[in-house]
């Protein structure tokens, strides 16, 4: 599996918020969901 950048941010606080939001919606790049997308 190859990884793909989904966002580029310069502010560390913004990056942390994005990580928390993605995890809250079930996204995890190391787990495959039923939707065919990582974490989906």
What's the confidence (pLDDT) of residue 30? 62
* DSSP letters for 1-40: ---------S-HHHHHHHHHHHHHTT--TTSB-TTSSBT-
What's the confidence (pLDDT) of residue 1? 63
User: What are the tens digits of pLDDT across the range 4-38?
Assistant: 788 888 998 998 888 888 888 888 766 555 444 44
Whether the per-residue pLDDT at 2 is higher than 70: the answer is yes
What's the confidence (pLDDT) of residue 16? 87
């Amino acid at each position: 599996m190859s990884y793909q950048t989904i966002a580029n941010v310069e502010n560390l606080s913004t990056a942390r918020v994005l990580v928390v939001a993605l995890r809250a919606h079930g996204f995890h790049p190391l787990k495959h969901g039923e939707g065919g997308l990582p974490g989906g």
